[in-house]
Structure 1
């Protein structure tokens, strides 16, 4: 462990040695994802289709996330997150699919790409800041980079729907730490428009249950296992767009407090 700590010290010490932040927590997770639902319809004459129609339920897909959390005093926290999800499947269509006026006939071999990439910033206020239990409330803003396309393998047809949008959500996080420093956490982002925004109906949710195990005596570095449910979508009538999806993730990850690691590295020099 000494060599990685020394390398981290050399790289990060100039920026973090004098940092006023109590903690700067980096996190990475990865694992398989499964598509429970992915319904779509695009264009005024578009065909409604499901995940099975594009062979999206036949496999698991690798997923990953990277997050950085700055603790701003005892009560405040700011989290930056990158959450990509990009899959491509191939199938022989069992029915005609009209996608934005381009018709892919039954029997066409098609590649389908589904990209849903999120860049999210969250603020959390710690309502309860106990020795073992913490509870935080706040809000998130996410930039959504989305793309859905269909292409015939023989090159005869291609069409797509792409969108960059901004989505907001309420956020909460709970964490309980045992005397052994083993911890469990529940984190959720969620919002629904309830049909209040003109002729657009939509919603999002992102819920994760985590079990963490410390990798050092102070608990500055932890490995964890996490189950995540992610879903949402929108029915935007003015653009003739409908998409709704629900995805499940089984993840492993690691998180580390960079401030504590750098301070420890400096003490060991």
Structure 2
């Protein structure tokens, strides 16, 4: 992932300036609340447990960064970085099997939920007007 990001940045920086070339940076942040979050590992023999209903998950902050570079009038390349992590803690009044380990009832459980998203995008704008821009292209989740 880091190598692809560095390569993309080098391509953007070393690309000769063209008409309409520009950088765009979007940064989002907010509060994430856990809703439905059930897990079972392994899926066929582990204990099904709800991180959000059987354990306590405190709200957490998140951020999302999108960096895009327009190459002329119709071509855009970009990268999205969106890490997401939550921690759940508590006890469950039954035995739990998780990743082939047994935990007795009422044992303190600490879990970490991680769902990071990194994406590389290329977009070709096939229609542009003052009010509307339409484009199409691939996105790779890396």
TM-score tier (shorter): 0.7 to 0.9
Q: CA deviation at 1:67?
A: 1.6
Q: CA deviation at 1:83?
A: 0.8
Number of matched pairs: 126
Q: CA deviation at 1:68?
A: 0.8
**What secondary structure, in the 3-state scheme, does the structure 2 residue paired with 1:128 have?**
strand
Could you tell me how far apart the structure 1 residues matched to 2:93 and 2:138 are? 43
Could you tell me how far apart the structure 2 residues matched to 1:127 and 1:38 are? 40
Higher strand share: 1
**Does residue 1:86 correspond to 2:85, yes or no?**
yes
Aligned residue in 2 for 1:46 = 46
Q: 1:19 aligns with which of 17, 20, 23?
A: 17
Moved over 3 A (4+): 18-21
The unaligned stretches of length 5 or more in structure 1 are: 1-14, 144-269
Aligned residue in 2 for 1:55 = 56
Could you tell me how far apart the structure 2 residues matched to 1:94 and 1:128 are? 59
Q: CA deviation at 1:85?
A: 0.7
Please list, as runs of the form range in 1=range in 2, the aligned pairs for 1:184-263 lying within 5 A after superposition. none
The two structures have a TM-score, normalised by structure 1, of 0.43
Could you tell me how far apart the structure 2 residues matched to 1:61 and 1:77 are? 32
- CA deviations on 1:132-166 (whole Å, 9 max, x unpaired) are 112222221112xxxxxxxxxxxxxxxxxxxxxxx
- CA deviations on 1:155-181 (whole Å, 9 max, x unpaired) are xxxxxxxxxxxxxxxxxxxxxxxxxxx
**What secondary structure, in the 3-state scheme, does the structure 2 residue paired with 1:53 have?**
coil
Q: CA deviation at 1:107?
A: 0.8
**What secondary structure, in the 3-state scheme, does the structure 2 residue paired with 1:106 have?**
coil
Could you tell me how far apart the structure 2 residues matched to 1:26 and 1:68 are? 5
Please list, as runs of the form range in 1=range in 2, the aligned pairs for 1:98-247 lying within 5 A after superposition. 98-143=97-142
Could you tell me how far apart the structure 2 residues matched to 1:127 and 1:19 are? 21
1:111 and 1:134, CA in 2 relative to 1: closer, same or farther beyond 3 A?
same
1:34 and 1:139, CA in 2 relative to 1: closer, same or farther beyond 3 A?
farther
Contact residue 54 and residue 112 of structure 1 kept, 8 A: no
Could you tell me how far apart the structure 2 residues matched to 1:53 and 1:127 are? 50
Could you tell me how far apart the structure 2 residues matched to 1:123 and 1:96 are? 49
The two structures have a TM-score, normalised by structure 2, of 0.77
Aligned residue in 2 for 1:77 = 76
